[in-house]
Amino acid sequence: MIDTHMHADSRSSEDFEKMYLAGIDTAITCSYYPYKIDNETILLNHLNRILEYDTKRAREYGLDLKVALGIHPTNSIENPEIIFENLYKWIEGKQIVAIGEIGLEDLTELEISIFKRQLDIADETNSKVIIHTPRKNKKEVLNEIIEIIPQHLDEKQAVIDHINPNVVDEAIKTDCMLGLTVQPQKMEKEEAIAILDEYGFDRFLLNSDISNKPSDPLSVPKTIRQLERLKFKKEDIEKISHKNAQNFFEI
C-alpha cells in the first residue's frame, strides 16, 4: 500500500512502524509548517529537515518515505526565491517525487503568485504537483485552482488533494488526479468508498494526511480492508491501494 500524502515531520517514529506493520510500504510526505514562517532561511531549513532527517527516521522502521517539497499556501513568504532555486536542485537530483504540497488557502495575492510560480517550475521541469485544497471555503478555492492550473501546467501532471463529496463533481471534470483524504474531521472511509463506487477507481489516490491535527496513521489500510470486505474487484482495489500512485508519481 501507498499513503500518498502525509506530514512525517509532525509524527512519531511509532506511527511509521504502525503504518509499515499494517501494510504500507511507501508513503509520500509533503511540506507544511503549522506555524507562521516569515524567514525564507527558516523555511528552507524545515524543508531540508523533511528531506534528510524524516526519511531516515521512517527508513529505520521499514517505511520507504518519498518526498514532495514546495511552499504550502499557509507558509507563503515575501522572498521565496531561495526555495524556488532549491526546487530546481531537488528536482534535478531526483530527490523529490513532486512539488507539494502547494495550492491556495485564503486566496491572497501572495498565495496566488507563489502557486502560479511553482506550477511554472513544474511545467518547466516536467514535474508532478500535489495541490492542497482547504477545509474552509473549499468549493470557492477549488474553482480558483481549477481555473489557474491549465494556464500554467498540463492538468495530467497535477493531483488535487483533499477532495470530498461536496466538491468531487467539480474536480472530476478536470484531467487531474484526485486525492481522497481519510482523516478525522475531513472525510470518513465510508464517504471515500462512496466516491469510488460512483466515479470509479482510475482517477483517485488515497491518503491519510496525518499531521499535527487529529489524524489516523492507519486510515489507508482501514479503507483498503473495508473495500475488500465489501467485495470490490481486486483490480480496482489494487489501483487505489498502490498502482495509481506508482504510475502517477513514477515510483
List domains and CATH numbers for the chain. Answer: 2-249 (3.20.20.140)
Give the number of other CB atoms < 10 A from CB of residue 150: 14
Q: What letter does residue 180 receive in the DSSP assignment?
A: E
153-174: b (≥16 Cβ within 10 Å) or e: beeebbbbbbbbeebbebbbeb
Give 124-153 as a DSSP string. HHT--EEEE--STTHHHHHHHHHHHHHHHS
Percent of the chain with pLDDT over 70: 100
Q: What is the CA radius of gyration of the chain?
A: 17
- % of the chain exceeding 90 in pLDDT: 95
Amino acid type, 81: E
- Quick one: residue 181, left, alpha or beta (phi over 0 = left, psi -120 to 50 = alpha)? beta
The Cβ of residue 100 has, within 10 Å, a number of other Cβ atoms equal to 30
pTM over cut 0.85 = yes
What stretch of H or E contains 179?
A: strand 177-181
What is the rounded (10 degree) CA torsion for 208, 24, 131, 170?
-70
- CB contact at 8 A, 141 and 110: no
The model's pLDDT over 208-250, given as tens digits with 9 standing for 90+, comes to: 999 988 899 999 999 999 999 999 999 999 999 999 999 999 9
pLDDT in tens, 116-161: 999 999 999 999 999 999 999 999 999 999 999 999 999 999 999 9
Q: What is the mean pLDDT of residues 45-66?
A: 97
Tell me which residue has cell 471555503.
137
Q: Measure the CA–CA gap between 44 and 70, rounded to whole angstroms.
A: 10
Mean pLDDT of the chain: 97
